[in-house]
Copies of this chain bind each other. A is one copy, B any other.
Amino acid sequence: MPSARETELLEAAYRYALSHGLADVSLRPLAAAIGSSTRVLLYLFGSKDGLVKALLARAREDELALLADIGTGPGVVARLWEWLSAPAHRPLLTLWLEAYARSLVEPDGPWAGFARATVEDWLEVLRAAQPADVRDTADGLAMRTRELALLRGALLDLLATGDGERVGAALG
């Protein structure tokens, strides 16, 4: 169980990561930015990898909280897209994409499995939102895989171009 100071610093580091990215973060600038020291970060998180792992877990927490709130039933895709396309969530989603890509390039280290885990998380939510009679069929699996692809692809487009109008129209 993390101490109070630990969660406090993790939260600050998370905010830092959201605006600076995770890939080439380094302890000294991070520590300076959040008013701490490398010594303390190492003490609390064991190593840099430990810190990165904690940050990724923190990001996933945000993601899972969203998925829990999104509910089931018809309209999930639209609700998910509404959330994904909100400008306020862009830093989180950029961070998410960064971690996704990294976990593919470097299957070891703290990133390991991030991409696969997130695919499964989302597929499960889409599954729960399907009508009971398709949920366990091959067609159901194909349908939710397609929905997920559409959302993810649209997100990629949006993050690159910022053109919410065009991408939003494509999802309608």
> Which residue numbers of A lie inside 8 Å of B, CB to CB?
21, 23-24, 94, 97-98, 100-106, 115-116, 118-119, 138, 141-143, 145-146, 148-157, 159-161, 166-167, 169-172
Contact of A157 with B145 at beta-carbon distance under 8 Å, contacts A97-B104, A105-B98, A152-B152 already known: yes
22 contacts between A and B (CB under 8 A): A23-B105, A94-B105, A97-B100, A97-B104, A100-B160, A103-B160, A115-B156, A115-B159, A115-B160, A119-B156, A119-B157, A138-B169, A142-B166, A142-B172, A146-B170, A149-B149, A149-B150, A149-B171, A152-B157, A153-B155, A153-B156, A156-B156
Contact of A149 with B145 at beta-carbon distance under 8 Å, contacts A23-B102, A101-B97, A105-B98 already known: no
Is B159 in contact with A148, judged by CB distance below 8 angstroms? no
15 additional contacts, CB 8 Å, given A119-B157, A149-B167?
Answer: A97-B100, A97-B101, A98-B105, A100-B101, A101-B101, A115-B160, A116-B160, A145-B167, A145-B170, A146-B170, A146-B171, A149-B157, A149-B170, A152-B153, A153-B154
Mostly helix, strand, loop or mixed at chain A's interface? helix
Copies of this chain present = 2
Q: What residues on B are CB-neighbors of A159 within 8 Å?
A: 104, 115
